[in-house]
Every structure is written in structure tokens, then in C-alpha cells.
Structure 1
């Protein structure tokens, strides 16, 4: 009797700790846990021979509810890999339960995924959060031992206190710091990268890497790892893309030539959440006619979704104007808008022709700045009496009209406050309740759209930074991926609290650069201040 009891206990322990997928016949169900039910589980608990409730397999391993097991496995070997199909992406694999976890949430740091990620979960953020919450609940309740190695929960074990070892570690820390500085200097990376939270996260991940970790090779970094990084960033951009349904979006496009003199045309999706870079295509050997441009922009509209697009913003070139009219014929609700900065540029050119003094005063201002910067002794005297640097003219086609833009920015807060006051809201909604509500939604979408193609032109600065003279062998496809990652990482960082407070405040603005577009910085600060005021008012309500 004693031998029989110990044997039965040993079998139960092995079945609960080691078994990934358990498939038993009808006679074994009464003495052990339920196997994987290919349909939904009907009961959360069951009774053992000792009348003790046991947790259902679907609760111990909640991800089993998200897959369908294929085939019949009635064998003495209860472990090993099983054939299964994901209910969401309909992909079939043969693996263990741990790999199912990697399929939905990815592998932990330092481990290879070994399986394709679920595309539906990467697209549907709500579905991803629902399944993740279910798995987190199982882990926090400590229902299953097999979830202890999950990638979702952080296991922090207290390290033993070793004061003597930490004292000697200061010298090692200084040695590592010196290696970091030498690496930055040899690669030509500016010290402003040390304020980049992504750079700090990279170093922290290396601390948790396996012993003897080496960075990826040159070929791996520029091929598979670059593609994986872009796919990961696309999932992070889903919350911004979801605002396109409520606020609408404008497609902003502009042309440029890289260091190889390849003509490129980019596409950006812009609304109140910022400018999201989509892609840029090479038009080498292709004439930029109205038909070519209209077809290119129509493709961008289909990629984003025609119901979400409100307008197309380009420069005032004749072929762009005709292409905009062609798009308006295809999609009646989408209208073409010329860039307001290009329009102002043309207006001030006419002003300069009509009023020579205006052109002369602008030239005088440029000559004064140039004189101070080119004479070091005079510049040193100026710096003794001023804490600010003289700013050079920004390298944009409308930077010469800085005075007008500055005046608009100075009074932008008053303009925005006008439409944010309760009097404005009462004036709109009290006229007609039903019509007013619809008008508010339309006004929200219209006021969220840009009026210029400056975001598309600033994107070419990112292109020139990445596709520089030193990297002139970079092909357009790989440069497009690098620009996508670089631009959209900066976009995502704007929504984190660490961007406006703390050591990483405005980390992507180089304080050592004298070619700062002050108008852009000022506009962003005004937008952040308005958002903060709205957030504080909502919290009071």
C-alpha cells in the first residue's frame, strides 16, 4: 500500500510540472488533470479522487484557449511538441507551450524567438492587451509553474550586499565609461546620444545579456535585425494610427534628391498626433507628370484608408496642382491644399519685387550674423554679453520669411484659446444640438490637419543625416527603413513624460547646434503646454 501511494503521488507531480500538452483517454480523466480541450473549456475546476478541487488546464495555461490542437495524440509520451494552429492568424506550427508564448508575446532578451509572431495581435492592440491581461492574471495568481519563465513579468531577486566588491567595482565602471566614450568618438556619434533614452535602454539590455554577449554582425544588423526592428516599431505606432479614425489624417508629400542624385518622393501621414513617416520611393528614370504623381498619392490613400484621409498637401508646382485635381475627381471627400509656406514664399517674393527696402533689410540682417560668426574676436566679445548664440538661417526654402512665421507663432496661443473657450463651444452646440454635434466632430478633424508640407521637407533632413557622404553606398530600400525607424522613434518619444521632464528632456534637440529651427521648437512647446492645460482641466473635472 505504501509503495502504491508514493508511486501515485510521483505521477501526479510529474503531470503538473513537466507536461506541456496532456492528452489522456476517458479512463485517465477521473484520476488526473483535464487534457487540452479542442473546444472551449466548460468547467474551471474538477474533483480528484480525494474530492480536492484542481485548477483547469485552460486556467493553468490560458494561451491554450487561443490555439487549436491538430491531430490525435494518444500515446504514452505526454511531453514533447504538438501540432497546433493559432485561432487569430491561422498559422500552423509544431512546438511546446513555451513557444506558443513566444508566438504571441515574443521571446525574452537574449533568446531567439524561433517562431513567427502573430500578425493579428501585432495589428489589433485591444486583442493583444486582452490576451496579455489573461496571462498576467495567471502569473500573478501563481496558478501554473510553467509560466514562471514568462516574458511578461519581471522577476527581481535581491542581490547580496557586498560592499568591498562594490568599492573595487568603481574602477571597473570608469574603465567601461572610457570604452563608451572611445566608441562614440571613433564612430563619430555626438555626445547628445547619451541623452537618448533608446541609447540608455540599449546599455541596460546589455547588462542583462548572457555572459559573453557580442553585438550582432554587420550583415545581420543591416538585413534581418533591421527588418525585425521596423516590424516592432510598426506595432508601437498602432495607437497613433488609431487616431486616424477619429481625427482624420492628411497626406503630406514632397520631392528631394539624395547624395546620389536619385529623385525621391516621400509620404507622411499627419494629424494632431504628429507626422508619421510612411515611405519614400525612388523615381529615377520616371517623369514626374500629373499622372505619375496622382497614381503615387492614390496608392498612399489606399494604404491609409480613403475614409480616413481628408486632404493632400503638396507644394505649388503645376504638376502637383493638376495631380491634386485628379485625386479630387476620384475621391470626392478629399481635397488638395497647397503648402501655406510655399504660398507665403511666393507672396514675399512679390513683396520683395514691389518693395526693395524689404529685400535690403533682410540682406542686412544676414550680413550682420555672417560678420559676427566669421570674426572670432568680435564673436567672443558678443558672447561675453549674451548667453544666447546667433542663429543661422535654417536651410529651408521659406526660412527667409522668419519674421512672419514668428509673428504667427507669438499669437498662436491666442488663436487656439479662442476655439478652446467654453463660449465657442456653447455658440456651436446651442445653435442646433444635432447639427452642432456633427459640426464639432467635423471641426475637430479639420483643425487637426496641417496647413503646410514642412513636415515632409524636414523629413529630408533626416534622409540627408542618414544617407550622408560617408554612407553614400546605402541603397534606397535600406535607407527608407532607417528613416522610418529614426523618424517614428522620435515621434513616439514625444508622448512619454520623460521627454518633457527629467534628464531626457528634449533629448533630440542638440543644444550645441546653432542651426536650430526655433519656430518648430516654439510651436511644439506651445502644443505641449496646451495639452498639459487640457489634461489638468480634465483631471479637475
Structure 2
């Protein structure tokens, strides 16, 4: 016999209570802003996806979760805030740790009520994992920092990256001071932002596409200066004596004749004639030839008119060109010379040539040792006709005697030029 349920007559249906509409438990939902992070940011679009920071005014994509990491400074998919107060940062730090622990526990084990049979070991492992998660944020100053697995892995990867970078420099014969170039540091930072999968530009792109872009950018940067260059340009002025005089007179008028005591030009015939002409009409003005240019012309005459100088320079240049066109030989050379180079720049072109002879003379012993060593003999270039010729030149005693003759002749001039 059936039994009636609820009030009413026997044919009435039983009254069933309607379920209460579920309340969203997501504290980050659009209609629910109970997350403490919203006290420090503004919802830009109204959907919780973009949050504008109250302290640095930056807009963070990815919702309130990334915004809290922005305040803490964990660098987890967000740029750290540079203006957040320390007390706010400390609160956000605690919130982020708690969120991370709760998320891990729910993902790995579920709620304790749903899994009453969870063993003590599992609970201990969960708690230990939660402790490890705490280390993903930056500790306060003075506190001891415990390395996480991620940090240890990054430390090993850092060593590998450093080694590969060094090998790249060594095998490409790139000067070490490139690491001080701010553009190189920017490049490394941008590769880090790109993360895994970055491929450098190809040989063609470097020579064509990227080079054209860089040239265009430089031209745009120089636009404001080109007008001034055009105004003061003298390259289209004829260098005959009268034109040179007119150019010097205009310069003198610009700075006022009373402020001009001396005019210094190079030793070109027309400049010399123009300087002497101006001295005749101006008693307080003196024209002087450029001393550096004079010495450079003397060194040039030595090279062109003295056979021993010309021959010695050709042979020295042949040795240097042969070595510096091969990265393997450069490394070998620095091994024997203890890091010294064979090229030394000077104030002028011909001064550089004689300073290079000085470097060869200073490294005579290491060079001769290198060309007679087993390291040299095992290289591929040692058996080539060019390699044999360079070796014979370097081991020829007459070359070193001639270098001494050249240096004795020019040493006083080089000393004056470099003083």
C-alpha cells in the first residue's frame, strides 16, 4: 500500500524542494572581487583579464594571478613592480605562497574530506612540496634563500650557456670587449624574452635585409645633423690658392680677427701659399704647417725611397696578413706571445706601419718558436706554398736585421709623433 508524501490529496504529486542556485566559488570571477589583489589594481576592460597597477601604472595581462606576482616580483610571466611599497609586497608574498600551496594540494590529492584514506606519507609529501613552493618567490633581505629545483637547473644551464658563448667568441676571433657593448647585452636579453625556439638571422639576412634596415635607421637618426653638415661643408670648394684664402678669411671673420693668432693646415702647396699670403696682409697672424702631417710625409718618403724600408714592410705585412686571416693561427700566436698582438695602431698611416714593425721585433723569439713548433707543423696551412713562404720569411735572419735598421732610422720621429 502506497503512502502519500507531503500535504494534499491522494492523487497529488510529492513536493520536491528546488535546488538553490550554485554560488560561484571563483574569487577571481567578474562578479566576485574578493581577492585582495584587486585593492591594488584597476580592472581595465571589466572582465578581469587586464589589471592596471596603482603603483607603477603598468597594465598586466593574464588576470589577477599574474598581477599579484607582478607586485611580489617573482618574474613569473610578469614584469616586477618597481614602486610597490614593502608592506604591500610582504602581504602579496604571503598570499601567493598560500595560493600556490592550496593549488598544489588540490591538484595532487584533492580535499581531505574527499580522500580520508590518504596515508601519512602522502600528507607529509604534500606538506614538503608546499614548503618547496615557498622558495619560488624572492625572500626578504637578510633572510637565507633556499635553492629550488628550478634554480639548480638554471644554474647548470647557465654554465652551459656561458661555455657555449665563450666557444663562439674563441672560434670566431671576436674581441672580448664586445661583451661591454650595450647592444650585445640587449641582444642577450631579447633572446631570453623570446625563450626556446629563437633562430638567428641567416648569412643572407645579415648581409642584406638586416643591414639595409640598420642603414635606414642610421640615416633617419642623422637627418637632423645633415642640414648643419651641409651648411658648413667645404668639400665642394676648389682648393686653388685664392679659394683657400677666401675660405680661411671667412673662418677668421666668423670668430673675429682679433681672436685669431695662428692658422694650422696640412702641407699641401696651395695651403702653404694661402697661409703665406695671409701672413703678408695680417701682421699678427702666423701660419704653421701641421707637424703630424710633416712627420707622416717623412715616414712616407722613407718607405718609398729607401729600398730596405719598402722590402721589410712588405715582408712584415705578409706575415701579419697570413696569421690574422686565420683564427686558428691567431690563437696559436697568442699562445706563444702570451696574449700580445702584432698590430699596434698609430696616429697616422705610416706611423702605424712602423709601429707594427716594432711589434714584430718585440715578438721575434715567440714568432720563430711558433714557426718551428709541432703545433705549426700539424696545421693544414703549414704544408701549403703560402705557408712555406711565410715560414721562410719569419725564420730569415736578414728580415730581423732589416727591421732593426728601419726602427733605428724612424724611432726619433715616432717618439715625437706619439708625444
Fold equivalence (TM over 0.5): no
Greater Rg, structure 1 or structure 2?
2
TM-score, structure 1 normalization: 0.25
TM-score, structure 2 normalization: 0.32
Greater relative CO, 1 or 2 (CA 8 Å, sep 6+): 1
Q: 1 or 2, which has the higher helix percentage? A: 2
